[in-house]
Amino acid sequence: MKLTKHAHACVTIEKGGTRLVIDPGTFTPDAAEAVARAHAVLITHEHFDHFDEQLVAAALEARPGLLVYGTAAVAAALGSHDGRVQAVTAGDAFTVGSVTVSVHGHRHALIHPDIPCPDNVGYLLDDGAVHHPGDAYCVPDAPVRTLLLPTSGPWTKLGEAADYVRAVKPERVIEIHELMLSDLGRQSTARLLGEEGLTGVPVERLGPGASVQL
């Protein structure tokens, strides 16, 4: 399985000729290009930095074979498109080509009591090969080999992020959701959360377009 990191929360997963894109949002400059090559798009929640509604809607119109999975709010925003848009919740599982997906988590992490928390789901791919949690510290009830760890945003907290990694116990951690940090902030966060910091697991920092094998 190959993972390609795009800016912020977006990644592409490729395996056996199947290509999935997770969370192509408005903070990701090459989101349209990524979606244009995908067999399916997975959306964790409706916030604009994870879900570029116009982009995904246009892709559904242009490509009759494209599939989209997301929360009920995402599905309602896009419409059914003859069943190609599917609402998913925790406990669901589905397969796209050669990739299996299970759905975990219910709610976006709290920003402030005055700000509503939308539904948020995480996607665990290929029996734990990689987990994208969206904007939440949800611990899947299954082993995770590679955890995509959000490191910036109004809801993130370094202490909670450390506890999250400790609870998930992944073999590998890759940084996502990083755009609200300066380069110095990213270095400091990776050091605090990483191998010699609170978790004992290195935090890998990939630039946009960089790929790794999982």
pLDDT of residue 100: 98
Q: Which helix (H) or strand (E) holds 14?
A: strand 11-15
User: HSE of 208 in the Cβ direction (CA atoms, 13 Å)?
Assistant: 15
Q: What is the pLDDT of residue 195?
A: 94
CA angle 204, 124, 45 (to 5 degrees): 90
26 close to 52: Cβ distance less than 8 angstroms:
yes
Q: How far apart are CA 30 and CA 177, in angstroms?
A: 15
Number of Cα atoms under 13 Å in the Cβ half of residue 82: 6
Closest by alpha carbon to 69, among 47, 48, 93?
93
Both tokens assigned to 146: 């590679």
Please give the share of the chain, as a percent, with pLDDT higher than 70: 100
pLDDT digit string, tens, across residues 6-53 = 999 999 999 999 999 999 999 999 999 999 999 999 999 999 999 999
Average pLDDT over residues 123-152: 97
pTM of the model: 0.97
Question: What is the structure's pLDDT at 210?
Answer: 98
Summary mean pLDDT of the chain: 97
What is the DSSP code (8-state) at residue 135? S
C-alpha–C-alpha distance, residues 67 and 84, integer Å: 5
> In angstroms, rounded to a whole number, what is the distance separating the alpha carbons of residues 55 and 31?
8
Report pLDDT for 147: 98
- What is the C-alpha separation between 101 and 202, in angstroms, rounded? 25
Cα separation, 39 vs 43, in Å, equals 14
